[in-house]
Amino acid sequence: MKKISDSAVRRLALYQRFLQEAADAGLDTISSGDLAERGGTTSAQVRKDLSLFGSFGKRGLGYEVQELLREIREILGVDRTWKVALVGAGKIGSALFSYRDFQKRGFRISAAFDSDPAKVGSDMGGVTVRADEEMDRRLRDEGIEMVIVAVPAEAAQAVVDRVVNAGVRAILNFAPVRLRVPRGVALRNVDLTLELEGLSFALTGR
Amino acid sequence: MKKISDSAVRRLALYQRFLQEAADAGLDTISSGDLAERGGTTSAQVRKDLSLFGSFGKRGLGYEVQELLREIREILGVDRTWKVALVGAGKIGSALFSYRDFQKRGFRISAAFDSDPAKVGSDMGGVTVRADEEMDRRLRDEGIEMVIVAVPAEAAQAVVDRVVNAGVRAILNFAPVRLRVPRGVALRNVDLTLELEGLSFALTGR
DNA sequence: GGATGTGAATGTCTTCACAGCT
DNA sequence: AGCTGTGAAGACATTCACATCC
């Protein structure tokens, strides 16, 4: 098991998206140059990325769209459905819950939890918001594989500890804190304020 | 104007957050080691990052919390308020609108636009959602400096073209597309599905 | 003594350039 | 002829290690 950089994985996910578009447009083959252009990278980068996993192209021709799409989906593990739970049914949480793309791409949010009694029991598109206390048990019982954390910063670490303890090994965190997870648990952060601060820096220019 | 890497900027924004916490906790000085520990990096990295902008520490002592905080806020350009507009008042858009941290960190969303007549005219915490057609003029008139794009993927590029044309030079994009912007315009993408796909890859392990 | 600031060393990622297939 | 696959080169980022200063 080679070590694949985070940026390579991101690009693969992008290629997948472009390949899907190309497939929808009825294209049969696509070259590394085509993929590169759409992804804002170079053809060499595309070929290097793909070569990490095998040789999928035909020299002189390019890549067969359907075949490469299938390969990349398998590599990314998105050739199946993932069971996802949402912790925190506030504004961001509910927005994520009804985010169409998740469903479309095979990420099924089949459980939701909140510590606010006012929210517990409410229905979110077929899924009932459950009490915080039920979380640990239900995560296991329902075989949840990924958790989206959308709770206040102060609560996030405690939630994550419990989630990890319940056997979940992938976490997408929206709370603006640096979380600690054991080795072997995948963690991605979406830090909205950080992004705006990055823009601020770019405008301030230094 | 040196070239500063994206990751360095991200880390600076993190240090800023930790410094704020340290300040709130009443600490006077902090060492690169302390900052590193909280930020999941190394003390050498912290010092390198800071050294890109100057020498803020005292040997043998560390950094004076208040002073370093002030410096970093100035470097990032967050020692002021930014005028932000939101385009797309759907689920994600409205969630972002009421995201407390933006306000708290000096990002004031003072305008919102949507193309859906049903949403136009509605009030979002003191800001009235305006029609899409009014966007270009209002962006200029209100001196908007950053725009958050939360529209469907198909609409995003057109929105961005107009926004750039209206003089905005910083864009935070939530639509799952690769946008084209002219040089000189800062663009950050928050691609939620991409993040989940990254987790999927991590779990699938290859 | 203790922590910074920084050149040098190392490691990682990207780009180049071309041999090798189709 | 065209485009892939890939070593080698180059660029970039991180880590080391130590002289420097408080």
pLDDT of residue B1: 66
Instruction: Please check whether residues B91 and B187 belong to one and the same domain.
Output: yes
| Cα gap B146→B108, rounded to integer Å | 10
| Cα gap A144→A85, rounded to integer Å | 6
- Nearest-CA distance from A31 to chain B in Å? 18
Q: Which nucleotides of C are covered by protein (CB under 7 A)?
A: 1-7, 12-17, 20-22
Question: Tell me, what CATH number does A30's domain have?
Answer: 1.10.10.10
Asked if residue A205 is part of any domain, the answer here is no
Helix (H) or strand (E) holding B19: helix B6-24
Q: Strand locations in chain B, DSSP E?
A: 29-30, 57-58, 62-64, 82-87, 107-114, 123-124, 127-131, 146-149, 170-173, 186-189
Instruction: Please check whether residues B55 and B11 belong to one and the same domain.
Output: yes
| Cα gap B121→A92, rounded to integer Å | 23
pLDDT of residue B206: 56
Q: Which of A44, A74, A104 is the last residue of a domain?
A: A74
Average pLDDT of the residues in A190-194: 98
Contact (CB<8Å) B95/A98: no
Which residue, A5, A3, A33, is CA-closest to A18? Answer: A33
pLDDT of residue B115: 98
Q: Which residues of B touch A19 (CB under 8 A)?
A: none
Instruction: Please check whether residues B90 and B138 belong to one and the same domain.
Output: yes
The DSSP letter of residue B134 is G
The gap between B33 CA and C18 C1' (Å) is 47
Number of domains in chain B: 2
Instruction: Please check whether residues A56 and A92 belong to one and the same domain.
Output: no
pLDDT of A206 over the 70 cut: no
Instruction: Please check whether residues A97 and A182 belong to one and the same domain.
Output: yes
Predicted confidence band of residue A166 (pLDDT cuts 50, 70, 90): very high
Q: Which residues of A touch B82 (CB under 8 A)?
A: 196, 200
Instruction: Please check whether residues B92 and B125 belong to one and the same domain.
Output: yes
The DSSP letter of residue B133 is G
Number of H helices, E strands in chain B: 9, 10
Those residues whose beta carbons lie under 7 A from strand D are: A 31-33, 43-44, 47-48, 50-51, 55-63; B 3, 5-8, 41-42, 44-45, 47-48, 58-61
pLDDT digits (tens, 9 = 90+) for B50-94: 999 999 999 999 999 999 999 999 999 999 999 999 999 999 999
Which residue, B102, B134, B95, is CA-closest to B115? Answer: B134
Q: Which of A20, A44, A74 is the last residue of a domain?
A: A74
The DSSP letter of residue A150 is -
Instruction: Please check whether residues A123 and A48 belong to one and the same domain.
Output: no
- Name the closest residue (CA) to the C1' of nucleotide D15: B44
Q: To the nearest whole number, what is the mean pLDDT of chain A?
A: 97
| Cα gap B201→B151, rounded to integer Å | 27
Domain containing A184: what range? 82-194
Rounded to 10 degrees, what is the CA torsion of A134, A135, A138, A143? 180
Instruction: Please check whether residues A109 and A159 belong to one and the same domain.
Output: yes
Instruction: Please check whether residues A63 and A131 belong to one and the same domain.
Output: no
Q: Strand C closer than 7 Å to the CB of B43?
A: yes
Q: Which of B51, B74, B97 is the last residue of a domain?
A: B74
Please report, in angstroms and rounded to a whole number, the separation of the first and last CA atoms in chain A: 41
Instruction: Please check whether residues B107 and B163 belong to one and the same domain.
Output: yes
pLDDT of residue A1: 65
Instruction: Please check whether residues B146 and B86 belong to one and the same domain.
Output: yes
Which stretches of chain B score pLDDT less than 50? none
Question: Tell me, what CATH number does A130's domain have?
Answer: 3.40.50.720
Predicted confidence band of residue A185 (pLDDT cuts 50, 70, 90): very high
Instruction: Please check whether residues B26 and B118 belong to one and the same domain.
Output: no
Asked if residue B51 is part of any domain, the answer here is yes
Question: Which residues, 6 or more positions from B89, have their beta carbon under 8 angstroms from its beta carbon?
Answer: B97, B112, B113, B114, B116, B119, B122, B124, B129, B150
